Structure 1
Amino acid sequence: MPILNWLTRDDDIRTAARVPYRLLEEDPSLSAGDGGAGNMLIQGDNLEALKALLPFYAGRVKCIYIDPPYNTRSAFEHYDDNLEHTQWLALMWPRLELLCDMLADDGSIWINLDENEGHYAKVICDEVFGRRNFVRQINWQRKYSVSNNFKGIATICDLILVYRKSPAFQNNLLPRSDDASARYSCPDDDPRGPWKAVDYLNQASTKKRPNLVFDIINPVTGNVVKNKEKAWKYERTTHEEHVREGRLWWGLKGENTVPALKLFLSEVRDGMTPHNWWPHTDVGHTDEAKKETNLLFGREEGFDTPKPERLLKRILELATNPGDLVLDSFLGSGTTAAVAHKMGRRYIGIEMGDHARTHCVPRLQKVIDGEQGGISESAGWTGGGGFRFYRLGPPVFDEGGHIRQDIRFPVLAAHVWFSETDRPWDGKGDRPLLGIHDGRAHALLYNGILGDKRPAGGNVLTRATLALIRDDIAKVAPDFDGPLTVYGEQSRLTPVTLDRERITFKQTPYDVKARK
C-alpha cells in the first residue's frame, strides 16, 4: 500500500510510544451534576490525555469525532492554526494511532477537515486504520452562500473522513423525515396502509429484455396494455403475483396507461439510507453554529469555527445508540459533548486550552440545567446528568520507565492489566487478583492491598498471600487450572515452587514497564 512520507516521519511514528502515562486528577470544583453518569471533561494535551485513558478505555469508544486544526495558515483566537505541513502531519499521526486504539471493534471515527490537509489525512488514515476500513468521505455544505466579490472557485464544503475499526461497524439508518413520510398516502383506502407508487417500467428496451415483454390487462377498463419501447421491471410470474396481491395501481378510475407498483410504508426499512452529501438544510452551517455559541458565550466570547449541533446530531445518529461512549479529543467549544449529553450518550471530551474551563464547563452546566438551544427541542432535552472535570497529573512512570513509588493500587493495577492483556481493567482495586485473560490469571501485591505492609506481609508473595490469591481465583473461576502472573515487591517462594505452581513472578517497581 502506498504511504505518505514527510521530513520527520520516522520520528513521528514513534511519538505515541514515547508519550508518558500520566495520572488523571479530578477537580471536584469544576465537576457538575451526577458524577456517576460516566462523562469526562479533561483539560490537557490531548496526546498525553489519550495515553492516560488507554488502560481504562482502550477498545471501548463507539464513536470518535475530531475537528483538528485545518492548517489554513490563519490564526484563531483559541488555536494556533498556522502550522507547516510537516508539523501538521507530526501532530496528527500519533494522535490517530492512539485514537485507533481507543475504538471498539464496531466503532468509527469521523474526522472533520477541509481540502488543505484532507487528502493527506486520507493517506495516513489508510495506513493507521487500514484502507479496507475506509467507509466514506462526507461532503458537508458548511456555507449557504458565496460573496459575488470572491475571485476564483469558492469553497463552501468541508470534508468528513469516516473510518471504521473493523467490518463489525454498521451505521444506523437516518430517521425518516416528514417529507419522506409524506410521499406515502392511501387514496384507495387500502387496508394495508399508506403506500407510494413505484415505476413498473424497466430502463431496458424491449429488444434487450425480451423475457420482460408481455401483455397485461387493465382490470378497470379491460384494455390490453402492450410494451412499446421499454420492458416491464418484473417477469410474468412475479407480475401475476402482484395482480393476485392487489399491488398494482391504475389510478382511481383506471386512467393510467401503465400500472405502478404499490410500495407500502409498513414494508420499508424503519429509516432512510444515508448518503455522503449533507446540505446545510439538513445539518446546519457555520453561521448557525456561530449563533448557537454566541447565545451561549456572548458575541465577544464566541468561536470562529464552531460546528452546528445538528451536524453532530447527524453523526451520532448514524454511529451510536443511547448509552454508547463518544470521544472528542479536540473538543473546542464543547459541541460534541453537549450533543452527546442531550442524546443520552456517554462522552469524553479533551481540550488543551483554558476554554476547557471557561467555556466547556459552563456550556455543559447549562446543558445539565436544561438549556434549549441547538438540538434540545428535537432531542426532547429537558436537563439532567453530569460530568467530572479532570486535569493531567504527574507521570505514572519515572524517567527510567519504572513505576513511581507513590502510585495508588488502582492506577498501577490498571497499567499492569493493560500491559499484560492489552485490555482495559474493570476491577475495583480491593483484592490482589486483577482478573483472568486468555487462560492466565494476573495478580498484584502492592500498597498494602491485603492490609499488611510489613516485609513479609501483603506486598510479598508468600505461601499465605498465594493462598489468598488462589481463593480469589476459585471464587470467580472454580475450575481454573492455568498459569498465574504475580507482581509484588518480593517473592519468598523458591524457583522450584514457582515452577511447580506455574507462577511467573515480576518485581515491582522494576518489572513494571511503560507499554510501548
Structure 2
Amino acid sequence: MTTRGSSADGLLLIGEAEDALKLLANGSRGERYLGGVKLCYLDPPYNTGERFEYYSDRKGSDDWLQALRANLTALRPLLSPEASVWLHLDDSEQHRARVVLDEVFGREAFVATVIWQKRLTRDNRTAFSSMHDYIHVYAPSGPKAWKKVRNGLADGGAFANPDNDPRGPWRSAPMTVQAGHATRSQFYTVITPAGTRHDPPEGRCWTFSAERLSQLDQEGRVYWPRGGHGKPRLKKYEFESAGLAPFTIWAAAEVGDTSSAKKALLRQFPGRPAFDTPKPISLLERIIEVATDPGDLVLDYYLGSGTTAVAAQILGRSWVGIERSRQTVETFAVPRLNSVLGQNRLAPCDIARVSQLPTQERATVRSAVG
C-alpha cells in the first residue's frame, strides 16, 4: 500500500520476507527500490523457544539461520552504496547471526555492535538477569566510508562567544595528543602571549607543529586561558560541529526500554493484549536519524507492530514495511500509522497480501491506496 505524509511515502506488504524482497527487486518498480534502501532495520523473532500472543518464537536453529541468510541475500540488491543494516537480537542466536552477516556482507562490512538496555527491573528466576539486547550494524561500504555519510548525535555541549568572534559561538579543546605516532615537529616549547613557557605533558605532544600553531593563532583560532598564561586550546565553532559519534551502549534513559514501549501500546490500544516485544519509538528514531537523511528510504521486513514505519514517517523518511501476519498489521501497524498520517489514512481492506496477489499484480507490486 502506498501512503504519503507531509514529506514521506511508504509501502506496506503482508507476506514472507524473502518473497516480498524479491518482488521489490524484480517488479516494475524495481528501478526505485534496487539500490535505493539507505537503512534496513531488522527485529526478527529471536528464536527464544517461547510462544507469544502474536507470533511463535520457536524454530530449529539451523532453520532460523537458513531463513536469516536467505532474507539477507535477497536484501542485498536493494541496498544503496551508502546503506547500513541493523540486526536486533538477544543472546539466543546473535553470536551465530554474526557469522551469517559476515558471510553475506563480508567481515569488512562490520561497523559495531550496539548494546541496548532493554529493561530496568531484575529477573531473579534466571542465573543472570538479562537487561540488554544486541544490535549488529553492518555497512556494505565498510565502516570508514559509512562514517562519512552517517549522522552524528546532537551535540549538546555549551558554546559561547565571550570574545565576540565573528565566526560565532565556540568552545575550546586541548591541543595535545598521545605521542605514539608523533613527528619531531610536534615536540617543542610553547611561549604564550604572556611569556609563560609550556612543554607538552609526559607521553603527549602538541597537536600541531609550531608553524601551524602560529598560523592558527594569527587566524584567531587559539584560546589562551588564564589571561594568556595557560596552555593553548583550539577554538571549535558551533557551525563546524558534525555531531557526536554514537556510543555503543544505549541506555534506557536515552532511548526507552521494552516496558515503556509496552505501556505506550497499552495506552493506544486499551483493553487489548499488548504486542509481545515492541521497541520504543525513541530507539528507532535514533537509529533512523544516525543512518539516514530526510527523504531516504528505510526498510523493515519484520515490521511487527509498525514502530519502524511510524518513526520513519514522523522523521520524514520514506519507508517499506513487510510483515507476515495480517492480524498484526491490522491490529497494530495500520492504526499506529493512521495516527501519524492525518488525512492520508490507510484502509485495512487495501493491504496487499503478497502470496495472494495475481501474477501481474505481484510483478508490479501494485500499491493499495488508503
2:162 maps to which of 180, 184, 187? 187
> Is 1:233 matched with 2:207?
yes
| Cα distance in structure 2, aligned partners of 1:122 and 1:263 | 39
Within 5 Å, which residues of 2 pair with 1:54-453? 54-56=25-27, 57-146=33-122, 149=124, 152-166=127-141, 171-177=149-155, 179-180=156-157, 182=158, 184-204=159-179, 211-220=185-194, 222-225=195-198, 229=202, 231-251=205-225, 253-254=227-228, 256=230, 258-266=231-239, 268-298=240-270, 300-353=272-325, 354-369=327-342, 389-394=351-356, 408=360
Separation (CA, whole Å) in 2 of partners of 1:71 and 1:286: 18
Q: Quick check: 1:40–1:390 contact (8 Å CA) kept in 2?
A: no
Structure 1: how far apart are the matches of 2:3 and 2:171? Answer: 50
Alpha-carbon distance change, 78 to 235 in structure 1, aligned in 2, over 3 angstroms: same
Match of 1:349, SS state, is strand
Deviation at 1:108, TM superposition (A): 2.4
Q: Distance in 1 between matches of 2:136 and 2:200?
A: 46
Displacement, 1:227?
5.6
1:482 is matched with none
1:224 shift after superposition: 3.9
Root mean square deviation, CA, Å? 3.2
Task: State the one-letter code of the partner of 1:356.
Answer: V
For the residue of structure 1 that corresponds to 2:246, the secondary structure is coil
Deviates more, 1:247-256 or 1:319-328: 247-256
Compare 333-342 and 272-281 and name the one that shifted more: 272-281
Aligned position for 2:30: none
CA contact under 8 A between 1:248 and 1:259: conserved in structure 2?
Answer: yes
Instruction: Give the residue type in structure 2 aligned to 1:218.
Output: T
Change in Cα spacing, 1:88 to 1:226, as seen in structure 2 (3 Å) is closer
CA 213–294 in structure 1, closer or farther in 2 if over 3 Å, else same: same
Provide the residue aligned with 1:46 in structure 2: 17
For 2:351, what is the secondary structure of its paired residue?
strand
**Distance change (3 Å), C-alpha of 1:322 and 1:98:** same
Question: How far apart, in 2, do the equivalents of 1:106 and 1:248 lie?
Answer: 36
| Secondary structure at 1:301 match in 2 | coil
Letter in 2 for 1:272: L
Residue deviations 1:406-450, cap 9 Å, x none?
x55x766x6xxxxxxxxx99xxxxxxxxxxxxxxxxxxxxxxxxx
Question: What is the one-letter code of the residue matched to 1:358?
Answer: T
Deviations 1:324-369 (A, max 9, x none): 2222111111101111111122222122221211221111111223
Deviations 1:289-347, CA, capped at 9 Å, x for gaps: 11221222226421221011111111211222222222211111110111111112222
Give the TM-score normalised by structure 1.
Answer: 0.61
Change (3 A) 1:61 1:238: closer
Q: TM-score, normalised by structure 2?
A: 0.82
Distance 1:324 1:118, change over 3 A: same
Tell me how far apart the structure 1 counterparts of residues 161 and 153 of structure 2 sit (CA, whole Å). Answer: 22
Q: Is the 8 A contact 1:325 1:346 kept in 2?
A: yes
Cα–Cα, structure 1 residues 215 and 141, in superposed 2: closer, same or farther, change >3 Å? same
Runs of at least 5 residues in structure 1 that lack an aligned partner in the other structure = 1-25, 370-382, 397-406, 415-423, 426-516
Q: Would the alpha carbon gap of residues 197 and 352 (structure 1) be closer, same or farther in structure 2, given more than 3 Å must change?
A: same
Query: Secondary structure at 1:176's aligned position in 2?
Result: coil
Contact between 1:42 and 1:356, CA under 8 Å: does it hold in 2? no
Asked if 2 retains the 8 angstrom alpha-carbon contact of 1:40 and 1:347, the reply is: yes
Paired residue total: 352
Residue type of the partner of 1:245?
A: E
Partners in 2 of 1:226 and 1:59 — Cα distance? 53
Deviation of the 1:120 alpha carbon: 0.6
CA, structure 1 residues 234+74, in 2 after alignment: closer, same or farther (shift >3 Å)? same
> Residue 78 of structure 1: SS of its match in structure 2?
coil
Change in 2 beyond 3 A, CA 1:255/1:319: same
Higher RCO by CA contacts (8 Å cutoff, separation 6 or greater) = 2
Separation in 2 of the partners of 1:246 and 1:72?
Answer: 59
In structure 2, stretches of 5+ residues that fail to align are 28-32
Deviations 1:139-172 (A, max 9, x none): 222224545x466443222111222344575542
Secondary structure at 1:322's aligned position in 2? coil
* Alignment check: 8 A CA contact 1:309 1:339 kept: yes
Q: CA 1:348–1:201 in structure 2 vs 1: closer, same or farther (change >3 Å)?
A: closer
Aligned to 1:340, what secondary structure does the other structure show?
Answer: helix
CA contact (8 A) 2:265 2:275 kept: yes
CA drift at 1:385: 7.0
The higher radius of gyration belongs to 1
Identical pairs, percent: 36
Closer/same/farther in 2, CA of residues 194 and 304 from structure 1, 3 Å limit: same
Contact 1:32–1:365 at 8 Å: present in 2 too?
no
Distance 1:329 1:284, change over 3 A: same
TM-superposed CA distance for 1:195, in Å, is 1.9
Alpha carbons of 1:227 and 1:65: their partners in 2 closer, same or farther (altered >3 Å)?
A: closer
